[in-house]
Chains A and B, each alone.
Chain A
Amino acid sequence: MIGTGHYLFLSLALFLIGVIGVVTRRNVIIILMSIELILNAVNINLVAFARLAGSVEGQVFAIFIITDAAAEAAVGLGIIIAFFRNRETVLADEMDLLKW
């Protein structure tokens, strides 16, 4: 009924929407959220192949990706807060000076 191809197409669709979000939006927090979408798309891909191969290792790798995403989101949001304190902006276009 539902073959692996269906999951691959779903994963591709989420990946593309995430890429469009990263490349198109100005608000840096929404860019980070689009990155989370990309990571989720990859997870769906991994788990679909894990199901196909009958092995749990794909799911284990997906767990590591979720862990990584948590660490990256934490540090990224910390950087955004630190930057916001100085420059009062969350738009990526306005974060254009290294030192002032």
Chain B
Amino acid sequence: MLDRIVFDFFAGIAIVSAILVVTRRNAVHSAIFLITALLATAGIFLQLHAEFLFIVQIILYVGGIMVLFIFVIMLVNLDVALHQLQFRRQWWLGLLLALALGAEATAAISIGRSGLPDSSTAPPASVLDPNTELVGRVLFTGYLLPLEIASVLLLVAMVGAVVMAKRRT
């Protein structure tokens, strides 16, 4: 019962915020609604017993990536862009294709849903506790190579971003 209320709350906020992200005229408003969508997603993670991912989402996505977005929006904020057409001329085609994709995926999920084990045969939530220690253990033993590659990727991204945004003096 409480589960249901919490899920409906976070899912509702996520979907409404997402719709507002793609429909706002002002880019800063879009960014604010994306922040609420990301916070709602973090709430969903918390409900799925993924505590470390919840806080990583808030620190990295909301506190890092969205701050970067807002900085860039403020740097390139054009009043001219506010008064122009916001959607492409073939927006109806995009909508149609997305709805077709949605119908297909809904059919796939509905058919496959009965094959998923339900909550009585699935492992209990306590398997995922203590979450941080488990994630750390798996990350540094089984997934060590992807971890190192991810750090090299971040280094490359840092260097690339600095080079791209530097003024050619």
- Give residues in A with beta carbon < 8 Å to B: 1-10, 12-14, 16-21, 23-27, 29-30, 32-34, 36-37, 40, 43-44, 47-48, 50-57, 59-60, 62-64, 66-75, 77-82, 84-85, 88-91, 93
- Give the CA-CA distance A66 to B163 in the complex, in Å: 23
Contact A56 B7 (CB under 8 A): no
Besides A37-B37, A47-B44, A50-B48, 9 more A-B contacts (Cβ < 8 Å) are A17-B22, A24-B91, A29-B69, A33-B31, A47-B48, A54-B122, A81-B164, A81-B165, A91-B84
Partner of A81, one of B57, B76, B84, B97: B76
Main secondary structure of the interface of A (DSSP, over half): helix
Contact A12 B106 (CB under 8 A): yes
Contact B150 A64 (CB under 8 A): yes
Residues of A within 8 A of B48 (CB): 7, 47-48, 50-51
Contact B135 A56 (CB under 8 A): yes
Residues of B within 8 A of A80 (CB): 72, 76
Residues of A within 8 A of B150 (CB): 64, 67-68
Residues of A within 8 A of B75 (CB): 81, 84
Residues of B within 8 A of A81 (CB): 72, 75-76, 164-165
Contact B122 A20 (CB under 8 A): no
Partner of A66, one of B3, B24, B60, B88: B60
Chain B 42-53, CB-CB to A under 8 Å as 1, else 0, gives 001101111011
How many residues on the B side are at the interface (Cβ–Cβ under 8 A)? 89
Q: Which residue of A lies closest to B119 (CB)?
A: A3
Chain B 17-41, CB-CB to A under 8 Å as 1, else 0, gives 0110110100100110010011001
Partner of A57, one of B1, B105, B142, B158: B142
- Give the CA-CA distance A1 to B156 in the complex, in Å: 44
17 contacts between A and B (CB under 8 A): A7-B44, A14-B41, A16-B102, A17-B19, A17-B21, A23-B94, A23-B97, A26-B87, A27-B81, A44-B44, A51-B48, A52-B122, A54-B128, A57-B142, A66-B57, A84-B76, A85-B167
